[in-house]
Amino acid sequence: MSIRKQYDEALTELNQALAEMGQACADAVENAMEALASTDAAAAAQIIRDDSQINEMEHDIEHRCMVLLLRQQPVAGDLRRISAAMKVITDLERIGDHAADIAEIMPHLFTSRKAGDPAVSDAIRMGQKAHKMVVDALAAFQAEDMNAAQKVIADDDEVDYDFNAVKRTLAEEIAANPGQVDAALDLLMVIKYLERIADHAVNVAEWVQFTRTGLYKNENLF
């Protein structure tokens, strides 16, 4: 097998590994919202256990990238794609972490808020939007689609709006009944993690520009 063919196969395997990690992270967010909706503590515990697999995927992809950089010395577009992949997996790992963070809150949250709680329902809808942003950002990155990436970035405004709306609802709850502050704070942490998940999806989308042009909005990242 020629060196070029080995290199192309390694790049294909890297892209596949990245896609699998992205899917695992997106699934973690989706599963977290489903567990929150069904008050399923067992499902929440599974999300926490699965996070270790996401961490292992990150280490595997990081190793693949380093091997390609050190042994093959890629140039131009390939170099940008490999460099971007190393940045993207950091955001993906944080998305997985935040899904696990939400799952860790659930057992306590389930004891303080009833099923069908309006604020919880609003948080779930917010989480579904954040999940879609993750899925769309990954698709845009794989396709190097700058238009799709820009839509993901624009969608973050809606998640931020939802975050502020739920936060106001929780502040009103605390003002009306200070004794329920713990219930409000638990859900506040959930929506904060969801807001961060959306932010990481934006980061993934922003790397599309770098892979296409070599430019990134924050020049201090390299």
Confidence label for 2 from pLDDT (cuts 50, 70 and 90): low
> Do you know the residue count of the chain?
222
Q: What is the pTM of this model?
A: 0.93
The C-alpha atoms of residue 8 and residue 1 are separated, in whole angstroms, by: 11
pLDDT digits (tens, 9 = 90+) for 90-130: 999 999 999 999 999 999 999 988 777 999 999 999 999 99
Tokens coding 134: 């993750």
The C-alpha atoms of residue 156 and residue 159 are separated, in whole angstroms, by: 5
**Residue whose entry in the numeric block shows the structure tokens 């799952």:** 103
Decide if 112 contacts 155 (C-beta within 8 A): no
Question: Largest alpha-carbon pair distance within the chain?
Answer: 71
Burial class (CB in 10 A: 0-12, 13-18, 19+), 41: middle
pLDDT digits (tens, 9 = 90+) for 172-217: 999 998 888 988 999 999 999 999 999 999 999 999 988 887 776 6
Confidence label for 222 from pLDDT (cuts 50, 70 and 90): very low
Mind listing the domains of the chain with CATH numbers?
3-217 (1.20.58.220)
Q: Is the pLDDT of residue 221 over 60?
A: no
pLDDT digits (tens, 9 = 90+) for 44-92: 999 999 999 999 999 999 999 999 988 877 777 888 999 999 999 999 9
